[in-house]
Each structure stands twice: as C-alpha cells, then as structure tokens.
Amino acid sequence: MKLYHHYKDKAYKYIGIARHSETLEELVIYETRYSNDLGRLWVRPRDMFFENVNIDGKSVPRFKKIPLEIVTSTDVSESDIKTLAPVIEKAFGEWDEKWFYSTFNQHKKFYLLTAFVEDQAVGFKLGYEQSQGEFYSWLGGVVPEYRGLGIASNLMQTQHRWCVEQGYKKIQTKTQNRFREMLMLNLKNGFDVIGTHASDEGGMKIVLEKKLEQK
Ligand SMILES: CC(C)(COP(=O)(O)OP(=O)(O)OC[C@H]1O[C@@H](n2cnc3c(N)ncnc32)[C@H](O)[C@@H]1OP(=O)(O)O)[C@@H](O)C(=O)NCCC(=O)NCCS
C-alpha cells in the first residue's frame, strides 16, 4: 500500500521516485492526505524520506510505511458479515441487510477478502462460484478515507490469483456507470465489457468478463 505516516503523525501517499534532471539525484514524490494550503505534492531526497530520525532519544522512521493486511476466507461466517457491514455502509452509503442476504443465501462457494489497516477493516471484495469454471465478483468497496491508495487493486489482483489457482476459467462482474471508479478499475485489470441489461434499480448494468490464463 502507498500509505505512510510522518513521525509527527500526518498521513501521506507515496507516489514514486523521480530523478533530478540535472544532478540525477533520486527524489521521492509524495502527496498529503490532508488539506495543506502550501500544496498537495511534495518532494524529498530518497535517502531522507527513508531515513530514521532521532526523536526524544529514540530512532524512528521519518516516514513509516503503513502495512495493508488482507484476510481471506472461503467460509463466510456471521462474524465476517458483522465486520463487513460497517465497511459496506461507509463504501456504498448504506447497509441493507435484507438485500445482502437475499443474494448471499442463494450461493455457496464464496471467496471473501477483507483489507485491514492498523486492525481496522477498510475494504473488501466478495464473490462466489457462478457455474463450473466461472467465478462471479459480486461486491467490493473501500471506505472513503482509504481510497486512492491501491487497496481495491490489491484486493482484485489477490482475488484473480486465487481464481487462477482454483482453476476458474473466467470471472464475471457487473457494475453501473455511476460506479465510475470501479468501472475503470475493472477495465484496468483486464475485464472486457460483454453486454448490458436493465437494472432493477433503474438505469443500466454493465456486464464485464475477464478470461483467466491457467499457469
Ligand atoms: C471503486 C473503489 C473500490 C476503488 O477503491 P480504491 O482503493 O480507491 O482503488 P485503487 O486505489 O486501488 O485504484 C485503482 C484504480 O481504480 C481507478 N480509480 C480509483 N479511484 C478513481 C478515481 N477517483 N478516479 C478515477 N479512477 C479511479 C484507477 O484506475 C486506479 O488506478 P490508478 O491509481 O493507477 O489510476 C472505491 O472507489 C469504492 O469503494 N467505491 C464505492 C463502491 C463501489 O463503487 N463499488 C462498486 C460497485 S459495482
């Protein structure tokens, strides 16, 4: 994940390494995750970004990398759903238990990935076997405070690797125009649009499919 905390505790997104065009020195480009009147994008020499500093006699990283933990399960329990409910509520703006269970109860072979940052659930991806050799990626989201850090990409790539290992030949998913970020994320990760149909909620559903290459 691209999230770092400065030793004074502010959060930054690591963008990448650039080279100074005159001196060829390596510089880290990073972005504030809070509003800063002086600007959003900053640079700092690479060695300095990754060095330790002495604070009150203690050596600590100037920027501490915040790890992402992904917990997976093929046996989705009531306790997993309790963890998911607030994430779904924050990511989608609502948690409709009846709606969730009306689909959940119709399927069996699930694969759930939950993303944790500092022990807090911040994102998830949930899918199930649609038919033999075909997996359906049903729901996914990341809470707004943690978006743009590569969490959904990580969840999707982990899901796809697992599907290949399980021998699935393709993954299908559906989205809508209004979920533009998810639509772009799907296209970026190899899905093709294969059709559309009317949505129960009005508007149009976009059907996407990705063929998986067996190793
Ligand atoms: C869609 C969603 C899961 C993306 O989560 P995320 O962790 O912020 O995504 P990532 O940081 O991994 O971004 C991956 C890619 O998605 C696309 N993307 C994500 N957010 C985007 C944005 N605001 N604008 C444009 N593209 C965006 C980009 O292609 C991005 O790659 P890039 O950073 O290299 O440009 C998140 O926005 C979300 O939860 N949305 C609400 C729920 C939702 O729409 N669910 C889908 C219903 S079908």
Judge whether residue 22 has pLDDT over 90. yes
Indicate the residue among 65, 85, 106 that finishes a domain: 65
Q: How far is CA 1 from CA 48, 94, 140, 197, in A?
A: 20, 26, 17, 35
Going by the DSSP 8-state scheme, the letter that residue 45 receives in this structure is: E
125 and 107, same structural domain? yes
Q: What pLDDT sits at residue 215?
A: 67
For 69-83, the pLDDT digits (tens) are 999 999 899 999 999
Contact predicate 13/33, CB 8 Å? yes
Q: How far is CA 100 from CA 37, 85, 157, in A?
A: 42, 10, 24
- Ligand 1 centre to CA of 88 (Å) is 15
- Ligand 1 centre to CA of 185 (Å) is 6
190 CB less than 6 Å from ligand 1? no
Indicate the residue among 65, 89, 104 that finishes a domain: 65
149 and 80, same structural domain? yes
87 and 51, same structural domain? no
- For residue 60, the number of C-alpha atoms closer than 13 Å in the C-beta half-sphere is 13
- Ligand 1 centre to CA of 181 (Å) is 4
Other Cβ atoms closer than 10 A to 94: 9
189 and 168, same structural domain? yes
91 CB less than 6 Å from ligand 1? yes
133 and 73, same structural domain? yes
- Ligand 1 centre to CA of 182 (Å) is 5
151 CB less than 6 Å from ligand 1? yes
Q: What pLDDT sits at residue 96?
A: 95
184 CB less than 6 Å from ligand 1? yes
Domain that holds residue 32: 3-65
What CA dihedral angle connects 82, 84, 89 and 95, to 10 degrees?
-60
Q: State percent of the chain over pLDDT 70.
A: 100
Spatial separation of the C-alpha atoms in residues 170 and 187, rounded to whole Å: 15
79 and 61, same structural domain? no
Q: What is the CATH number of the domain that holds 44?
A: 2.30.30.320
Residue type (1 letter), 173 = T
197 and 97, same structural domain? yes
Q: Which residues contact 11 (CB under 8 A, 6 or more apart)?
A: 3, 4, 5, 32, 33, 34, 66
For 77-111, the pLDDT digits (tens) are 999 999 999 999 999 999 999 999 999 999 989 99
Spatial separation of the C-alpha atoms in residues 68 and 66, rounded to whole Å: 7
Indicate the residue among 44, 65, 86 that finishes a domain: 65
189 and 86, same structural domain? yes
202 and 160, same structural domain? yes
Q: What is the CATH number of the domain that holds 167?
A: 3.40.630.30
Tally of domains within the chain: 2
Judge whether residue 154 has pLDDT over 70. yes
51 and 90, same structural domain? no
Spatial separation of the C-alpha atoms in residues 152 and 185, rounded to whole Å: 8
Among the ranges given (50-54, 129-133, 171-175, 196-200), the one the predictor scored with the smallest mean pLDDT: 196-200
51 and 156, same structural domain? no
107 and 30, same structural domain? no
Mean pLDDT rounded to a whole number for the chain: 95
